Amino acid sequence: MKGRNAVVTGSTSGIGLAIAHALAAEGCNVMLNGFGDPAAIDVTRREIAEKTGRTVRYFAADMGRPDEVRALVAAASSALGPVDILINNAGVQHVAPLADFPDEKWDLLLAVNLSAAFHATKAVMPSMLDRRFGRIVNIASALGLVGAPHKPAYVATKHGLVGLTKSVALEVAQAGVTCNVVCPGMVMTPIIEMQVADQARVTGLPPEEVVQGVFLENQPIRRPVKLEEIAAAVVFLCSDAAAGVTGTALSVDGGYVAR
């Protein structure tokens, strides 16, 4: 993958950052995206660039705004060259019973978790088709394949990502472009760490017991999936070895959906 140009949305922390590290280590130039302290993000950007010798840039697009999603792709094309690899990873979460679920949170999750992937994919597709090469990987969740209570918007958007993946893959199957979706199980991301802390406060249990008793209850390996394991799956799907893999939902979930 040396010299390929990659855009990774939501890559200033968690899964997205691990993917950005892994792609750069494989020789890709990378456009980072996400929220956070600008100084800290710049340190991260420079660290990846210095470690890998690749060009690493950052663009602070709000993935809930279609015009900014398109601006991210344009900025990547200008700074790196035509986008070869698109990782739609940006996501947000809100947990509440359906009757109490705020309308604005539904709209936010739909925009960031699902519509952003549509707009980004649409933006990169003409160039990929012209060059007859492209790798698109959407990051969904085990909850893109099964349901869960109190997460109506998250489950709906992640199921939507799986459907979007299949539709795009079929459309471009003979054009040298693949589109796949990775469905992680429970991973210790900053979002999950905040949820663990909230549960610990509510229940009075130590965080370790919350993780084992709540968050890993349905994950047979009984440990979080590692960030590096998710990143490795993405790297494979972006490689030449995966040229025949498209329209596939790859579960990296510790057995979550095997039950």
What are the counts of helices (DSSP H) followed by strands (DSSP E) for the chain? Answer: 9, 7
Of 58, 154, 215, 256, which is the active-site residue? 154
- Mean pLDDT for 110-136 is 98
- pTM (2 decimals)? 0.96
Domain ranges of the chain: 5-185+226-252, 186-224
- Mean pLDDT for 185-209 is 88
Say how far apart CA 237 and CA 161 lie, in whole Å.
16
CATH number given to 5-185+226-252: 3.40.50.720
Given a contact cutoff of 8 angstroms between Cβ atoms, the answer to whether 29 and 3 are in contact is yes
pLDDT band at 194 (very low <50, low <70, confident <90, very high): confident
3 state SS of 1: coil
3 state SS of 3: coil
pLDDT band at 128 (very low <50, low <70, confident <90, very high): very high
pLDDT surpasses 90 at 214? no
Q: pLDDT, tens digit, for every residue of 165-182?
A: 999 999 999 999 999 999
Lowest mean pLDDT among 153-162, 194-203, 205-214: 194-203
Cβ burial of 258 (10 Å; 0-12, 13-18, 19+) is exposed
> CB neighbours of 43 closer than 8 A, spacing ≥ 6?
none
Angle between helices 116-131 and 152-171 (to 10 degrees): 20
* The pLDDT of residue 203: 85
Mean pLDDT of the chain: 96
- Mean pLDDT for 191-212 is 87
* The pLDDT of residue 192: 86
DSSP state, 224? P
Say how far apart CA 43 and CA 100 lie, in whole Å.
40
| 154 a catalytic residue | yes
Lowest mean pLDDT among 75-89, 155-169, 214-228: 214-228
- Residue 32 sits at φ, ψ, to 5 deg, of -80, 160
User: 14: closest CA among 44, 38, 39?
Assistant: 44
Say how far apart CA 129 and CA 123 lie, in whole Å.
11
- Mean pLDDT for 151-174 is 98
